[in-house]
Amino acid sequence: MRIAVGAGVIALAAGAAIGQTAQQTSGPPAFEVSSIRLHVGPAPGVGINVSGSRLTATNNSVLSLITYAYSMKLYQVTGGPGWVSDYASSAWDIAAKAEGDSPLTQERAQQMMQTLLADRFKLTFHREMRETPVYALVVAGKGGPTLKKSEPDAASTMYISGKWTERMTATKWTMEQLAANISNSGDRPVLDRTGLTGTYDFTLEWNPAYGTPNPDPDAPSIFTALQEQLGLKLEPQKAPVEVFAIDHAEKPSEN
């Protein structure tokens, strides 16, 4: 099923050239000035930082810029030329400033990034629902979950620690929150199908399937960790998921 956004395929109007003042009186929110350059040299990591009225993006693929601008997950973005997701040859450094000195909110910064993507990268796209592989988070076996119910007056917190092994310590968290967090580091959505409606305290430690290999070969995968530590498991299924489908994108001129 194809979902119309606005008048169908989004194609935001081209904005001002670099160094020119963006028109803020009409049209979508835009940075006053911006500089885009192909990242050169060793990768210092990938990041997007908003400070005051400025946004700085370092070593970002267009794919990562899209996920930031539209609050999408990597697995939700599809289509477009291969360089869109290629960090090796098409990672970009961006320095941009909004008009005035008022601090940018996260929402405003994302809206301005949407305009920049349409203006400089000529990005057009549409949204649609697709039947997509997912994981369903369910209760494992007859023993049931080994989760501690939260105290009514407990604060909702979550911390991630560990360099090679991820350790999640959560207080007063729902299973929907757990599923969403697992989705952030996986290759497909995780949907809460546990039927557990309360809030829980738990610790989960696993070897992530990305980054530098874990020096501890005994660290469990997320699948094993969920079952052994929380009494839950991930079952592969299919479900309709909203997809951001790229129709067109171009490499920008650098300036």
The Cα–Cα gap between 248 and 85 comes to: 14
Question: Of 239, 101, 100, whose CA–CA distance to 183 is shortest?
Answer: 239
DSSP collapsed to 3 states, 72-130: CCHHHEEECCHHHHCCCCCCEEEEEECCCCCCCCHHHHHHHHHHHHHHHCCCEEEEEEE
The Cα–Cα gap between 247 and 224 comes to: 39
pLDDT at 63 over 90: yes
Q: Which single residue is written with the structure tokens 């489908």? A: 245
Question: Measured between alpha carbons, how far apart are the two ends of the chain, in Å?
Answer: 40
pLDDT digits (tens, 9 = 90+) for 189-214: 999 999 999 999 999 998 876 544 44
User: What is the predicted pLDDT for the residue at 88?
Assistant: 79
pLDDT digits (tens, 9 = 90+) for 112-123: 999 999 999 999
User: What is the predicted pLDDT for the residue at 86?
Assistant: 86
Bridge partners, 222 (sequence order): none
Bridge partners, 239 (sequence order): 132
pTM of whole model > 0.85?
no
The least confident of 19-23, 89-93, 200-204, 212-216 is: 19-23
pLDDT at 251 over 90: yes
Domain boundaries, the chain: 2-128+244-248, 145-230
